[in-house]
């Protein structure tokens, strides 16, 4: 005998008509929508920046669809934030550190060779700045 949708529910799930929607997906979708709106982007523009369809944006923001890790990382990068913030897993990064944190997230997504190139380049730049600094 087939189970009804109610038998698949977990704590925190919400029944919408004949569907069960995860509370976590809804909250994540709401954080994504809020960030998109902070940037004053339409769903169409956001979809283009993230390399996903408008339908996917609508489903994610509505808490109706989960994504792969790769797509979720693209969404975070397009929104100029990190996956932990979108998942609600971290405290807000202070404004003066957001750019550094975002750059660290971008570097982390590079392959090992790319990471090494960036790190060596940064070391050279930092050493040069310190040599030329009056302090």
Sorted by where each begins, the domain ranges of the chain are: 1-90, 93-135
Gyration radius of the chain over CA positions: 20
* pTM beyond 0.85, yes or no: no
With a cut of 80, say whether residue 5 has pLDDT above it.
no
Lowest mean pLDDT among 11-20, 36-45, 105-114: 11-20
Task: Provide the pLDDT for residue 2.
Answer: 41
Higher pLDDT, 133 or 60: 60
Where residue 19 falls among pLDDT bands split at 50, 70, 90? very low
With a cut of 60, say whether residue 96 has pLDDT above it.
yes
Cβ of 82: how many Cβ atoms within 10 Å? 21
Under a CB-based contact definition with an 8 Å cutoff, are residues 86 and 111 in contact? Answer: no
What is the residue-wise DSSP string for 17-32?
Answer: TTEEE-HHHHHHHHHH
What is the CATH superfamily name and number for domain 1-90? lambda repressor-like DNA-binding domains (1.10.260.40)
Under a CB-based contact definition with an 8 Å cutoff, are residues 88 and 34 in contact? Answer: no
């Amino acid at each position: 005998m087939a189970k009804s949708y109610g038998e698949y529910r977990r704590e925190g799930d919400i029944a919408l008509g004949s569907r069960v929607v995860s509370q976590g997906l809804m909250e994540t979708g709401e954080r994504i929508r809020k960030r998109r709106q902070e940037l004053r982007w339409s769903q169409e523009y956001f979809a283009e920046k993230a390399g996903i369809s408008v339908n996917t944006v609508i489903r994610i923001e509505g808490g109706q669809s989960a994504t792969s890790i790769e797509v979720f990382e693209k969404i975070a990068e397009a929104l100029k934030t990190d996956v932990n913030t979108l998942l609600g897993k971290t405290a807000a990064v202070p404004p003066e550190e957001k750019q550094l944190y975002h750059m660290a997230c971008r570097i982390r997504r590079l392959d090992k060779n790319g990471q090494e190139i960036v790190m060596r380049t940064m070391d050279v730049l930092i050493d040069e700045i310190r040599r030329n600094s009056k302090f």
